[in-house]
């Protein structure tokens, strides 16, 4: 009997699609991923509608939306519901060895048989942070072990390089920058230093005296390029192990990143395109068409159904997402051009995204003192710089009605209340919703990379039985 296909899934934290040369970014940030993606099928119009990490990867691993998962908050309280099955659980039941690298302790990563961690953070005092090399030191030996086993395997690799702190090793830190990052006449970082909730965190990894936002953005791009070079090592190893013919390789991200956008500096909150737009491509020679870039709208919830369809593995689960395989082969697929979008990270907001409009409705005041209602014309204003909610009240009314109709429809179908309405301690400070923006501003604070790490890695009782090494 032929061995079932293997799966390697790269989940790259905070990688925004429009900073990849694969998608037309003028700086050559991802040359190895670009070349590798040409061996398969890429998607250029992919949305992660439930941000950030925990809801994003929960949707990816389950093939479900937020109404089915009940997960919308980074600091999700408790584990996943028993009504859900993750991709790791599905493949484990089908006889797969399953290993998760760099994502233990998060609700979304339930069901792996083995968890391996690596140092994926850093600070200025610690020096340049070789996150991807740290991952390789753990992942490559594990890949070799899995390849030597009789069973097929699922290896999930969560890269942290584009996630702050941006501290790429030399020479990548100067690859895209040749200026003076400490120019006293440059004041572009002043707003960041003056933003109380994040200023201490940013100061912990910015160079002392840094004044230039473009230097920090260049560090983000340097992280992508450094990671790309390290990923080439994994892909080369896989090829040398003879895995290419029987291994599906998938790349995506849990969400993108805001850099100097919308006041959400160097983080991934805000329901704007830099955070929602993510990369996605599939490579499996002979099984996935090569050299194709498709622009049809698709979502995180489509990833698991697509993987199972490509691998010809059947399940009785009725996913909210839909396989992208028909698109790869020029066949029709159910169209879903509009989406319900949510965030509960540093702000609690939801909204409605259509091909033309982005509608954002704050469920409580946010620490950026932004208006309750935002509306952007994505055709005329793709960078979302002009809030036209007051100028277009009828459009606001129409989009609010469509969003509420969707909420009511999904509530009826799942039998569960919209989790955006029930996760009132999403910020982890107790006391329910913020009453004012000033209260949010005074309450929310991140002071160090260690604190950031703790926000994303909370040990689960449900994983006590899992093997952690």
- In this predicted structure, the answer to whether residue 468 has a pLDDT above a threshold of 50 is no
- Per-residue burial over 23-51, b = 16 or more CB atoms within 10 Å of its CB, e = otherwise: bebeeebbebbbebbbbbbbbbebbbbbb
Sorting pLDDT into bands at 50, 70 and 90, what band is 121?
confident
Tokens at residue 183, please? Answer: 């120019």
Is 124 in contact with 208 (CB distance < 8 Å)? yes
Query: What pLDDT is recorded for position 141?
Result: 98
Task: Look at domain 339-443 and name its CATH class.
Answer: alpha beta
Q: Closest Cα partner for 287 from 332, 315, 328, 323?
A: 328
Give mean pLDDT, residues 85-104: 97
Res 465 pLDDT > 60 = no
pLDDT of residue 448: 58
Mean pLDDT, residues 108-116 taken together: 97
Asked if the model's pLDDT at residue 105 lies above 60, the reply is yes
Number of H helices, E strands in the chain: 15, 15
Percent above pLDDT 70 for the chain? 95
**Looking at residue 451, what is its pLDDT?**
60
What does the pLDDT read at residue 225? 98
Query: For residue range 370-380, what is the model confidence (pLDDT) as tens digits?
Result: 999 999 999 99
- How much is the average pLDDT of 59-69? 98
Q: Can you give the pLDDT at residue 125?
A: 75
- Please give the distance of CA 384 from its chain centroid, rounded to a whole number: 20
430 pLDDT band, cuts 50/70/90, is confident
Strand pairing class (277-283; 41-47): antiparallel
Peptide bond into 349 cis (omega under 30): no
| Mean pLDDT for the chain overall | 94
Region 282-300: what's the mean pLDDT? 97
Q: Picking from 1-5, 75-79, 237-241, 306-310, which range would have the lowest pLDDT averaged per residue?
A: 1-5
Q: Please give the pLDDT value at position 466.
A: 40
Residue 297 to residues 5, 303, 350, 405, Cα–Cα distance (Å): 27, 13, 19, 21
- Residues 165, 60, 322, 285, Cα dihedral to 10°: 70
Are 122 and 100 in contact by the 8 Å Cβ rule? The answer is no
Q: What DSSP string runs through 438-453? A: HHHHHH-----HHHHH
Q: In the predicted model, is pLDDT for residue 318 greater than 80?
A: yes
What CATH superfamily classification does 6-336 receive?
Alkaline Phosphatase, subunit A (3.40.720.10)
369-427 pLDDT, tens digit per residue, is 999 999 999 999 999 999 999 999 999 999 999 999 999 999 999 999 999 999 999 99
* Backbone CA torsion sign across 186, 191, 194, 198: negative
Task: Please indicate whether residue 448 or residue 132 has the higher confidence score (pLDDT).
Answer: 132
Contact 193, 199 (CB under 8 A): yes
Instruction: Delimit the domains of the chain by residue range.
Output: 6-336, 339-443
Give the per-residue pLDDT at 78: 87
206 pLDDT higher than 90:
yes
Kindly report the pTM of this predicted structure. 0.94
* SS3 state of residue 200: helix
């Amino acid at each position: 009997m032929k061995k079932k296909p293997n799966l390697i899934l790269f989940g790259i934290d905070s990688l925004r699609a429009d900073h990849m040369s694969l998608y037309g970014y003028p700086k050559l940030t991802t040359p190895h991923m670009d070349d590798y993606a040409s061996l398969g099928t890429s998607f250029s119009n992919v949305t992660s509608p439930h941000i950030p990490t925990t809801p994003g990867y929960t949707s990816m691993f389950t093939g479900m939306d937020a109404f089915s998962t009940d997960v919308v908050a980074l600091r999700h309280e408790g584990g996943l519901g028993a009504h859900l099955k993750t991709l790791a659980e599905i493949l484990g039941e089908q006889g797969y060895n399953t290993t998760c690298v760099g994502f233990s302790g998060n609700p979304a990563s339930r069901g792996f048989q083995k968890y391996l961690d690596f140092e994926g953070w850093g600070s200025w005092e610690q020096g340049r942070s070789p996150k991807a090399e740290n991952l390789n030191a753990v992942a490559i030996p594990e890949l070799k072990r899995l390849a030597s086993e009789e069973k097929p395997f699922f290896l999930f690799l969560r890269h942290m390089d584009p996630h702050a702190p941006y501290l790429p090793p030399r020479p990548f830190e100067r690859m895209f920058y040749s200026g003076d990052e400490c120019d006293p006449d440059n004041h572009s970082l002043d707003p960041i230093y003056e933003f109380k909730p994040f200023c201490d965190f940013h100061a912990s990894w910015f160079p002392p005296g840094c004044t230039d936002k473009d230097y920090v953005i260049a560090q983000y791009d340097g992280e992508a390029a450094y990671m790309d070079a390290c990923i080439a090592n994994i892909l080369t190893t896989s090829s040398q192990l003879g895995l290419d013919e029987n291994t599906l390789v998938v790349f995506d991200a849990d969400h993108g990143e805001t850099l100097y956008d919308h006041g959400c500096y160097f983080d991934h909150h805000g329901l704007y395109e830099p955070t929602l737009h993510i990369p996605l491509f599939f490579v499996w020679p002979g099984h996935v068409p090569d050299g194709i870039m498709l622009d049809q709208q698709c979502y995180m919830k489509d990833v698991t159904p697509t993987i199972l369809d490509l691998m010809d593995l059947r399940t009785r689960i009725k996913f909210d997402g839909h396989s992208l395989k028909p698109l790869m082969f020029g066949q029709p697929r159910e169209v879903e051009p509009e989406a319900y979008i949510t965030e509960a990270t540093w702000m609690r907001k939801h909204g409605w995204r259509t091909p033309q409009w982005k509608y954002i409705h704050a469920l409580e005041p946010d620490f950026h003192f932004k208006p309750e209602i935002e509306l952007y014309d994505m055709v005329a204003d793709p960078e979302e710089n002009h809030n036209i909610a007051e100028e277009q009240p009828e459009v606001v009314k129409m989009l609010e009605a469509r969003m509420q109709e969707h909420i009511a429809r999904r509530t009826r179908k799942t039998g569960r209340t919209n989790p955006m309405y029930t996760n009132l301690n999403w910020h982890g400070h107790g006391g329910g919703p913020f009453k004012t923006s000033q209260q949010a501003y005074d309450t929310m604070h991140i002071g160090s990379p260690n604190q950031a790490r703790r926000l994303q890695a909370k040990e689960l009782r449900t994983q006590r039985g899992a093997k952690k090494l």
